[in-house]
Amino acid sequence: MSIQEQHRILIIDDEPDILEFLSYTLRKEGFEVKTAPEGKSGLTLVNKFNPHLVLLDVMMPGIDGIETCEQIRTIPGASSIIICFLTSLSEDYSQIAGFDAGGDDYIIKPVKPRVLVSRIKALLRRSKADQNSYGNIGSSLRAGDLVIDRDRFLLLLEGKEISLPRKEFELMSLFVSRPGKVFTRDEIYSRVWGDDIIVGTRTIDVHIRKLREKVGDDLIHTVKGVGYKLKDKR
């Protein structure tokens, strides 16, 4: 059985032609696919279908893609779902708004079949690699008052549980694995997003800002011109 036959994909888009095209393309590759024409029904399917990956249009009537993404991230057990935005908006807006909402990646419309399939396979491969990462040091990582619980996909700060979107969780896991080490931007891109996934230059900055909002400004330090590090409290 191929890797794609093991994965469920949910497509949420208000354009019937796009739903038909995307679902046909992905089913032909062996993925299990369900579709929803707007955000509300898409949220219902997230609970019933339990997808590994969601392709989510940004501009939709009613609940738009950004709000849909935010609501998906509040569903118990949905933190590990990969969310990839479909957008025809400018790159800056789609990236910043999408990542702020908890998205993992984005694809610009019109979508070429080869690009779509390649990007999805890369995201799923990276997801599998993430599940196996840090395996040599157990399912939990600790740095001072910070604990990464990889089994439950949770961050604990002074005993308080904090649920993080996938990329924020992976980024925090990286920092906690080596407190005090300065991770360059290239290292972060490679370790968190992978070399086969192309993201914009502001991606890391957006995720760092979101993490600081949740864990405080004093834990993650910026090393100007180099990268970021977690404060070593030892």
pTM: 0.70
Domain edges within the chain = 3-132, 135-230
Per residue in 35-77, pLDDT tens?
999 999 999 999 999 999 999 999 899 999 999 999 998 888 7
Please provide the CATH number assigned to the domain covering 135-230. 1.10.10.10
**pLDDT digits over 117-128, tens only?**
998 998 888 766
Lowest average pLDDT, out of 132-146, 164-178, 198-212, goes to 132-146
Q: Can you tell me the distance from the alpha carbon of 146 to that of 180, in angstroms, rounded to the nearest whole number?
A: 14
Average pLDDT over residues 134-156: 74
Q: What is the pLDDT of residues 74-128, one digit of tens each?
A: 888 787 899 999 887 555 565 677 777 888 888 888 888 998 999 899 888 876 6
Strand order in the sheet with 183-184: 183-184, 227-230, 220-223
81 CB-contact burial (10 Å; exposed 0-12 / middle 13-18 / buried 19+): buried
Class of domain 3-132: alpha beta
Are 106 and 87 in contact, with CB atoms under 8 Å apart?
A: yes
Q: Can 3-132 and 135-230 be said to share one CATH topology?
A: no
Beta pairing partners, 53: 9, 82
